[in-house]
Every structure is written in structure tokens, then in C-alpha cells.
Homo-oligomer: A and B are copies of this chain.
Amino acid sequence: MSGTLVDKLHACAAAGFDGVEVFEPDLIAAPESPDEIRAVAERLGLTLDLFQPLRDVEGVDAEEFARVLRRADAKFALAARMGIGTVLCCSNVATATIDDDDTSAAQLRALGDAAARHGVRIAFEALAWGRYIDDYRRAWRVVELAAHPAVGVCLDSFHILSRGHDPAAIRDIPGERIFFLQLADAPRLELDVLSWSRHHRLFPGEGSFDLVDFMGHVLHAGYTGPWSLEVFNDTFRQTDAARTAQHAHRALQWLEDAVARAFPDLPGLSMLPDSAAPSGVDFVEIKAEDTSAIEVQLAQLGFTSRGRHRTKPVTLWTSGRARIVLNEQHARGAVPHLAAIGFEVDDAAAVSRRLAQLGAPRAWRRTYASEERLDAAVAPGGTEVFWTQASDAGDPAWTAEFEHGEQLRPPVVRGVDHVSMTQPWQEIDETVLFYTAAFGLRAESATEVPSPDGLVQSRVLAGPPSAMGDRVRLPLNVAPPALAGHGDNGALPQHIAFTCDNVRALVRGARERGLDTLRMPPNYYDDLEARFDLDPAFLAELRDLSIAYDRDGDGEYLQAYTATVGQVFWEFVERRGAYDGFGAGNAGIRLTAQRGSRQAGAGR
């Protein structure tokens, strides 16, 4: 985390952690004495569970080992002074010259004697890049040979799973000899393991490691100590510590829940309240000081104005099952942006309990008598997420609060296909965890789109297909840092995509009502012609209506886009066959076309 050691202690306590490891460089850099740190932790109700690391302590010659003992003695005394019972020693990287278990064991035994004199014990860990000892199974063998009550092992999921070592042998270690446990997830990268470890670790549930299986082995071995996170990550080092701690704590809750569900035989684990993934999108809310430009667009598209909310400056527009709420309340100075999304869920009360237990910040909106009270949480990045009981019986109850609407027009779209949100790079992992842990969405795929303003990383979260064949789909786009720095959110807008039966008819209808869609470049259609053997009349129609096209082994995809208003545009998609993507190959073209119309707009 960012900040000083005391900053970190406050952040961890506020997030609900029981204890922390003390990382030596933090202590050395701290202006507070070790006694002050101990006292601050005590006041905050945090235990100090581990002092780490003591490096390069074994596999060395006698002369070097004399220096090791001198250094270790000072650190054991320091740990004891701080009330820390365990000191982590990691396998030798730099000074080892003796590749021999008996030597390492004898040296750990001598260190154990020194530690015991100070009333502390040592947890020996195999680093994935250790000179000789780089496998937890060998570290355990050495600890077994050392046969000293103050010497045990530390297990770190990164060092074990990054090397592809089978964690099943953890079950062969007596639980009481596992002195400490460090957890980290990580994306699967083909990178040297040291760089991977130092820069790219993630909290549980955010990477590719099977930590549920890993924890099964650790707990079945009989380990009863802390579940500690050791996550080196360049982003967390520079972002708000309090927020990182909350994020971390949520990841541990998710992991405990998943482990409890996977291993019902394990006692004492807490589960989160059950809740199924949302089955659909109930509504999307666009907020701005002035939403009139959006209203014009929706009317031209053929949406129905369902009138104005009876107590607030809020209007509702619908078409099919798509519901758009336009909110001008408390929006001074804001350009149109995606402010909230509502999910349809099977059991709204269960979702509320689950979100509360995960410590998700509540979004609170004033409601008046006889108004529907909707539960909502604030997702990372500030988007408010509501959840409402799914119902097959037409419009949900809350829509009755809108008055003086026009007569229902025939639907031009069926519903919401996906909601694409722009995330700052600092928040993408936290956002993924939020939607997966709280709502049961799954991180399905990741891609990158070359835009004229930089490479856009995109990750898709999705729910399971509903009975009606729909799914909740949330593509999350990460703006390139330079773009984010400019504060030009229009450069990477959010968008809401609607499912249509016939995009061509929709575009034609909109044109008749005066709305032109985003112009795709002519060269794009020449390329479609070269790539796909399309019927010439169909291709001409796509070209004329400026509709983008994609095809894969599963089916076809047609897409059209409106101009961007503020930070939002609308998309219309027609999925044919079992096509389940988003036309990723078209996104770069679309971003270039949007840049062009933005600049043309700025030049007017």
C-alpha cells in the first residue's frame, strides 16, 4: 500500500483486518520507534503477526553464517520488542554457496536457538527464485531435518503456484509446523518469476491461481493461523491505502466464502449470503445538469417518453425492456454520464445482505412516502449499482412513479445488450472484484483495442444466460494513462448497447426522424468486401446505413452507434446465431471515427 507504516496500520484497521505483517523496510523508514508502532497497533486492535523478511540466512559458509547470526540476533530482539512472535526467513538468493539440506537445516537450527532465546520463532519460506531452495517441499524437508520447535515453514501461494508446483503435498505437513501463510493471486504471465512476483501480484480472485484449491490443502493440513495477503503490485503502491485495504479485505471475504462452499467438511469458515447472478439490466441512469440532448436522441430513435418522476427532476424513457432514467438532480456542471445501473435479481434481499457483509459502500437516495425503496451500492469509480426483484410481469413497480408519459410506441429495441464502462487504470482490478464477489458476474475475456489515443484494455464481465437467453454483460474499458491524465473523458466514452431484431430498420427509422448515426469510413467497407464474401446488396446496405459487421464461427453481429453526448453514446446490436462477442475488430475504427466527429464538433 502507499504511505508510511502508520498510514498502513490505520488503513488495515479501518478495513476490518485483525492483524498485519510488518515489512522491515517500512519500519526502517518510519520516524516512529518500534515501541510506538507496537502501541499504535494495539490501540487500533491490530495484532503484529509477522516480521519479514530476514534474507540469505542458510546455505552459507561458517564465516558468512557468523555474520548472519549477528544480524539475525538484532532482528529477533527487535521482533520481540514489538511483540511479534514470528520472523520470516526466506531461502537464500544472494550468498548461498552450499547446496546441501543438512547444512541448511543445521543453520536453521542454530537460528532457531537464537530466536528461542528472544521468545520468537522463525518461518522458513522457499522463494520461487531461491538459489538452491525454490520449492516448498524442499523447504519443509529442511525444516523437518532442523527438528527445532522454533523453526517451521511459511507457505506463500505465489511462490508455489507461479512455479506450477503441486500444492497437494501441503497436506503432508503437520498443520502446527506451518507457522505462517501468505496469499497472493496473479495473472498468468510469461514473465520471469521475479518481475512477476514484484510487480504483478493481485488479491485473491483477481488472477489465475486456484486459491480455493490451495486453501483446501492448507486447511486440511491443519493450519489455523492468519490468512495473510502479501501482494506486491505497482498500482497499490501509489493509490489510496484505505481503499486498497478495503479492497484487500473484500478479496479475503470472497476467498473464505469460496473455500467454505468448496469444502463443507472444513469447520469454522464464514459464508457470504447466497445470491444468484443478475438475470438482466433493469435500468440505466444517465445524469447531467441538462439531459435534453439525450432526450432528443431517444425520441429520434423511437423510444417512448414515460414522463417525469413525481418528486424529482428525473425522466424515464423506455423501448421494449430497455429503460433509461435521465436524472438532473444534484448534477450541476455535469455533462451526461453513466451514473447508475440497475440489475434484475432473483432475491433482492439476499443481494442486500451479501453486499452489506462485503462492506460495499451504500448508495443512499432520499425517497418519499409510497415510493419504491431500492437498495444500491457504490461501485469502484463511483457508479451506483441498484438491484431489484426480477419479475416477468411487465414494467417494474418503480416505473409507476413517473407521470404524464406519452402513449407507448412500438419497441425499436428489445433490451440492454451490454453496458460498457470506462475505468481508470488504478481501479480496474477492484472493479472486477466488486462485480464478481458482490454480484457473481464472471470475468470472461480480455482484449486490447488500438485507438488513436492509445491502447484500450478491455475486460468483459458477464452473468450466466437467463431463461430468456439474455445475459448481463459489462465490458470494462481502461483508458490509456495519458488520456486519463488529460481529463478528457469524451475521448473514451461509456456506452449502452441495446439488443435489436433489426438494426437496419432502426437506423432507417432514426434517419427519418432526423438522427444520423456515427459515420464509419468508406475504407472500412472496402475491407469488409475483401475479408468476407458478403452479398453485394447486403454490403451496400451496411455501407449506406453505416452499420459495422463482424462474423465468427458462431454467428454474425451488426452494430451501429449514435454520436457521443457528454460522455455517453448508444449502440445498437443485432446478434445472429450464437455470436457472443462485441465486434472487437470494429472498436478501433469506431474510436477513430468518434475522434473525428469530436474534433469536427470542437472545430465548429
Contacts and interface: CB of A to CB of B under 8 A. Distances in A.
6 contacts: A2-B454, A24-B527, A31-B521, A70-B533, A238-B483, A481-B485
A237 B4 contact: no
Nearest to A4: B452
A28 B455 contact: no
Nearest to A233: B455
| 6 interchain residue pairs of minimum CB distance | A238-B454, A190-B192, A74-B530, A29-B592, A238-B482, A238-B480
A27 B529 CA distance: 15
Interface in A518-577: 519, 521-524, 526-527, 529-531, 533
A452 B3 contact: yes
Interface of A: 2-4, 7, 24-25, 27-31, 33-34, 70-71, 74-75, 78, 189-192, 195, 199, 234-235, 237-239, 425-426, 450, 452-455, 480-485, 519, 521-524, 526-527, 529-531, 533, 588-589, 592-593, 595-596
A453 B530 CA distance: 51
Question: Could you say how many copies of this chain the assembly holds?
Answer: 2
Contact of A30 (B33, B70, B481, B523): B523
Contact of A426 (B28, B31, B239, B482): B482
A39 B482 CA distance: 32
Given A237-B480, A482-B426, A4 B592 contact: yes
A284 B237 CA distance: 33
Contacts of A239: 482
A481 B478 CA distance: 14
A1 to B, nearest CB: 9
Contacts of A425: 481
Given A74-B529, A485-B484, A530-B75, A33 B522 contact: yes
Given A523-B28, A526-B78, A454 B234 contact: yes
Contact of A190 (B191, B592, B596): B191
A238 B588 CA distance: 14
A183 to B, nearest CB: 21
Contacts of A3: 452
A238 B522 contact: no
A27 B589 CA distance: 10
B29 A71 contact: no
A29 B588 contact: yes
A482 B523 CA distance: 39
Given A521-B31, A523-B30, A523-B34, A588 B25 contact: yes
A592 B30 CA distance: 7
Given A238-B454, A239-B482, A483-B238, A589 B2 contact: no
A546 to B, nearest CB: 12
A530 to B, nearest CB: 4
A529 B75 CA distance: 11
A27 B527 CA distance: 10
Nearest to A1: B452
Contacts of A189: 191
B485 A71 contact: no
Nearest to A71: B530
Contact of A531 (B71, B78, B426): B71
